[in-house]
Amino acid sequence: PVVDIYEDFQCPICKQFEALNGKFLNSLVTEKKAVVRFHTLSFLGTESVRAANAVACANEEDKFLDYHLALYANQPAVENSGEWSNDRLISIAETVGLTSESFKSCVNDLKFEGWVGDVADAGAKSGINSTPTVLVGGKEIDRNTEYFDAAKFKAAVERG
pLDDT tens per residue, range 62-78: 999 999 999 999 999 99
pTM, two decimal places: 0.93
DSSP assignment of 88-133: HHHHHHHTTT---HHHHHHHHTTTTHHHHHHHHHHHHHTT--SSSE
Average pLDDT over residues 87-98: 97
Residue 142 confidence (pLDDT)? 94
